[in-house]
Chain A
C-alpha cells in the first residue's frame, strides 16, 4: 500500500529565506511517481513539480528544487528566496504505476511567509 508522511505541520519563515519541506514515502512498486502540490487559501490544488522513480537527476524549476533520495525514500522540496505569495499548504503525493492513477497524499505542511 502506498503511504506518504509529512512530519512537520506548520513552518514559518521570513521573506527571502529558503524553506525545505520533508516527505517520506512507502511503496512496494519499483516504478512510481512523486508530486508536490500547493493549496492556497482558495482551496484549489496547484501542481508544482514531479519526479519519476527512474529519473536520474534532481532538478530545479525557477525557485523550486527537489531532492529525491531513493535509499531513504525521501522526496524533499525547497522554495528558494520565499515570497509572501508562497504562503499556502504544500502536499507531497505518491502514485504507483499500475491499475489506476490514485494519488496518496501526506497531511500537508502549512507554510507561512512573514514579510
Chain B
C-alpha cells in the first residue's frame, strides 16, 4: 500500500512569491496534518484537516492556509514568502480527527522549500 505522498520534493522561490504544496494521505485515512520543520528543530504543527474541516491551527500567520479535498488530499498555501519560511514541510495522515489508543500519524517524505 502506498504511504503518504507529497509534491513537489523540492522547491525554490523568491521572497514575496506564493507557493502551493500538495499531500495525498494513506488510502482510508481521512485526516491530514501539516508541519513545518526548520533546520535543527523539531516539526511544528501548522494545520489539521478532517473531512474537509479545519480541526486545529498552530501559531502561524494568516499567510499560511490550507484546504482538504473530497478525496482527502490536501494543499498547503503560503503567500508573501519570507526567508524564514525556508523549511521542510511535512504532511501526516491518520484515520480520525484525534489521537486514540490505536490511531497514529504517518508522515510523508516532505517538501523542502527554499526561499531566496
Q: Which residues of A contact B (CB under 8 A)?
A: 4, 33, 35, 37, 42-47, 50, 52, 54, 91, 93, 95-108
Contact = CB atoms under 8 A, between A and B. Distances in A.
Count class of interface residues, chain B = 20 to 34
Contacts of A93: 42
A5 B41 CA distance: 12
A44 B110 CA distance: 6
A101 B109 contact: no
A27 to B, nearest CB: 12
24 contacts: A35-B104, A43-B112, A44-B108, A44-B110, A45-B90, A45-B92, A47-B107, A50-B104, A91-B42, A93-B42, A97-B98, A99-B55, A100-B98, A101-B33, A101-B56, A101-B97, A102-B33, A102-B56, A103-B33, A103-B105, A105-B44, A106-B42, A107-B42, A108-B42
A102 B47 CA distance: 8
Contact of A101 (B98, B107, B108, B110): B98
B105 A43 contact: no
Given A45-B90, A95-B99, A99-B55, A105 B110 contact: no
